[in-house]
Structure 1
Amino acid sequence: MNGAARFTERLAEGLAARGHQVHVAAPSPTGRPDRQVVRGVTVHHIRSFRYPLYERFRVGSWWRGAALPLLDELRPDVVHLQAHFTVSRGFAAAATARGIPLVATNHLMIENVFDHLPVPRIARGPVTRLVWRDLGRVFGQASVVTTPTPRAVELLTAATGLQALAVSCGIDATGFRASSRRWEHVRSAPGWEPRVLFVGRLDPEKRVDELLRAFALLPRDLPARLEIVGRGSCSDSLRTMAEELGVGWRVDFRGVVTDAELEEAYGRSDVFCMPGVAELQSIVTLEAMATGRPVVAADAMALPHLVEPGRNGFLFTPGDVRGLAGHLETLLRDPELRRRMGAASEVLVSRHSQQATLERFEDIYDEVAHGRIVRLRRAA
């Protein structure tokens, strides 16, 4: 459950809705291989094994022999990789062996890897170089490599030498805007306590602890609530921290929610906060913007592509808890500023429509399937 998985799901379903035959190969959630059709997409669950260090994460088969029979059966025009580990590695080798063109999208941030691998800090430099070198070998087989933002392109090229195209993950804003309208009268009623919302995995790189500490610094005369949607390796420690900071009664931990419940969480929010420092784009920030919410985000990685300070929100220096608290207080005390910045968010997010993303990938698939792009050259 992460941004890459959500992007893959929406891309597959969006392409199927546009008349394409779409098959997704992914690790089996039970370990046993099977096949099912989900909302117009045929999902092939590859035999998998439990990863002991992270809940609900499974490692799929990576050898080429596991992928060849499926490619021979389906004879796809294009194989699109969403990672370079396990399942994608096997399909990259199999597609190359069968002469099927590859497209690859990078979602990797090395900080995310270290949260789930027991790598001592002294070894992280060499491991980082090893992981990027490995990604370069796998993605180097692709005709086109994409990644969500220009900042992500810079990171990938610097680490691997690969050229890449920036293609936004895209978003369908319809449901989020409808949720905002449903909550509009409630949020403007007397006695409403403005809500700050965070959505994402509760893992170290998301820096939710900084958000909790900043929320605890808000003046006591300022009525506000903090809503946290998601779960992860830090779930228990964050709950404990909220109690120790004396704000537990004002913090709602929602855990994992359905898509409909997520839209409602955005709808009843007043301010969205993304303190994470490892965002190649941040789909949840796009969703908050589509709902018409101002955003307070870390000045890190690709978040400055989404937040224009003073227009649709504020950026803060990672680790500057007081600065974060100041931005939250400014927005929580000023309903008109929230309305103006939220309207700007809706304008800015229009650059990231899901239809534009689907059309861009259709063009890329067409180019590589017909041999008009054979292989992008490595950067000098």
Structure 2
Amino acid sequence: MRIMIVTDQYPPMVGGVPMATRGLAEDFANRGHQVWVLAPSYGPRDARRLEHKVRVYRFSSFEWPTYEGLRIPFLPFMPVRNLIKKSDPDIIHVHSPVVLGNIAQILAGGLRKPVIATNHYLPINMSRSLATDPLLGKPFNNISYSYLVHFYNRCEYVTAPTQTALNLLYKHGLRAPAKFISNGIDLKKFTPGPRDPEVLRRLNLPEDRPIILHVNRLSEEKRIDVLLNAVPKLKNKAHVALVSTGPAEQELRAMVERLGIDDRVSFLGFVRDGDLLPLRRSSALFTIPSEADLQSMATMEAMACRLPVIAANIHALPELVHHEENGFLFQPGNSEEMASYIDRLLEDEALRERMGEASLEIVSKHDRGQVLEQWEELYRRLAIEFKEAKERRQQLRMMRKYSGYLPPELQHMQRTRIRRTGNL
């Protein structure tokens, strides 16, 4: 198939959406499909290159002033239109309902191309301060969802990575055909393994303390502050390893210094895959206090390495973390409760082993191979249905043009279409 993926977030930007879109593009290319990715550039010029069999087209952009790393393209209508016409994709898959996603959707209608959209966003991703404000929070959330749902209702099909994420769209008026499809992970790559003291030495982590691992963008809505506030409350002298970077890093470093826990927290920044996998295997548990995840790929990767998880009980995280089965759920923002669960796990090796095995069982349903098969089946079905509908419209126009009369059954089809779409 010929697949076009459109996203405003793509590597080298750090985060779950860039990781998910790149993984999907490269996996499809490795399965023999032709794949194009449309994304912002990291400079004033357009660029294109072949990246791991994927044709990546980047359009000149500027940095979003309130979200570090997010780039906004300069409305490249004609270049995108020309690329769609030239590549002639069977399906256009939009992952960001912002600039490039809107452009692709607008142009796809005129060029008769089916559009699938996947929702990765919550209002809190756009602004935590507004989303959680006592007075402005509800109006801001409603406006954000009104925009998202309006965009998705103009697509042929909508997906979300979890049932929770999909239900949030239904709650705010989604009418387009939809289903949830996990982002998935490569269970051949992420597997359990022995503890690796060498990687701990290489990353300057203590070998004589249990490692509490956290992998997520260091931004306000990810609530790393809750984890840091839990550290002084721990009875166990564990060490926290924070992997990734983000706009809140300086503030979090200042918080570590203020709490006097410099010797118990490490900011590791970007960690290459060759070290991150053994680091997961060398950790005692994984934590995710985030209030802004519709599905956490980092959590799934930790689970695949047989780690128990302590997570905030909010949005889609309970779909991965089953309380007292493969980990614990704590009230969002409650660092004392989080600390108590960390201590409980660190003090009971048998419990960690049992919960780690449960993590393996739960994450097995998210194998990337199965996920890709779901996408391929959906792409093919929509492409066929869209083509058949296009042919029916052409037949109706021809019959009207040359005969001036439609049989009763075709008149009924035409009236039905007009009621549903408002046009012939």
Q: Tell me whether the two structures share a fold, i.e. TM-score over 0.5.
A: yes
User: What is the aligned counterpart of 1:192 among 208, 211, 219?
Assistant: 208
TM-score (norm 2): 0.82
1:181, CA displacement in angstroms?
Answer: 3.1
Hey, which bits of structure 1, 4+ residues long, moved more than 6 A? 116-121, 184-187, 372-375
Matched positions, count? 372
User: What is the aligned counterpart of 1:225 among 239, 258, 267?
Assistant: 239
Letter paired with 1:324: M
Structure 2 gaps of 5+ residues are 1-13, 201-205, 390-416
Alignment of 1:232-251 (within 5 A): 232-251=246-265
1:128, CA displacement in angstroms?
Answer: 3.0
**Does the 8 Å CA contact 2:194/2:282 hold for their aligned counterparts?**
no
- CA-based RMSD of the aligned residues comes to 2.6
User: What is the aligned counterpart of 1:205 among 221, 224, 228?
Assistant: 221
**Does the 8 Å CA contact 2:35/2:55 hold for their aligned counterparts?**
yes
**Does the 8 Å CA contact 2:130/2:140 hold for their aligned counterparts?**
no
Q: Partner residue of 1:103? A: 116
User: What is the aligned counterpart of 2:157 among 144, 157, 182?
Assistant: 144
Pairing 1:165–2:179 present: yes
Name the stretch that deviates more: 242-251 or 75-84: 242-251
Structure 1 gaps of 5+ residues are none
1:150, CA displacement in angstroms?
Answer: 0.7
Alpha-carbon separation, structure 2, partners of 1:117 and 1:259: 35
Q: Partner residue of 2:354? A: 340
Alignment of 1:1-380 (within 5 A): 1-62=14-75, 64-115=77-128, 122-163=135-176, 164-177=178-191, 180-181=193-194, 183=196, 192-219=208-235, 222-371=236-385
Query: Residues 63-82 of structure 1: CA distance to partner in whole angstroms, max 9, x if unpaired?
Result: 54342111011000000000
**Does the 8 Å CA contact 1:290/1:345 hold for their aligned counterparts?**
yes
1:141, CA displacement in angstroms?
Answer: 2.3
1:138, CA displacement in angstroms?
Answer: 2.3
1:277, CA displacement in angstroms?
Answer: 1.3
1:117, CA displacement in angstroms?
Answer: 8.4
Alpha-carbon separation, structure 1, partners of 2:44 and 2:189: 34
Higher relative contact order at CA 8 Å, sep ≥6: structure 1 or structure 2? 1
SS in 1 for 2:48: strand
Change in Cα spacing, 1:92 to 1:19, as seen in structure 2 (3 Å) is: same
Alpha-carbon separation, structure 2, partners of 1:283 and 1:208: 17
Letter paired with 1:19: G
Alpha-carbon separation, structure 1, partners of 2:366 and 2:329: 20
Alpha-carbon separation, structure 1, partners of 2:54 and 2:36: 6
Identity value in percent: 36
1:186, CA displacement in angstroms?
Answer: 9.3
1:119, CA displacement in angstroms?
Answer: 11
Alpha-carbon separation, structure 1, partners of 2:229 and 2:243: 17
Alpha-carbon separation, structure 2, partners of 1:333 and 1:120: 38
Query: Residues 34-93 of structure 1: CA distance to partner in whole angstroms, max 9, x if unpaired?
Result: 110111111000121222333332101345434211101100000000011001110111
Change in Cα spacing, 1:224 to 1:200, as seen in structure 2 (3 Å) is: same
Alpha-carbon separation, structure 2, partners of 1:47 and 1:207: 32
SS in 2 for 1:25: strand
**Does the 8 Å CA contact 2:213/2:280 hold for their aligned counterparts?**
yes
**Does the 8 Å CA contact 1:96/1:141 hold for their aligned counterparts?**
no
Alpha-carbon separation, structure 2, partners of 1:363 and 1:55: 36
Alpha-carbon separation, structure 1, partners of 2:132 and 2:339: 33
Q: Partner residue of 2:397? A: none
Name the stretch that deviates more: 251-260 or 309-318: 251-260
Bigger Rg, which one: 2
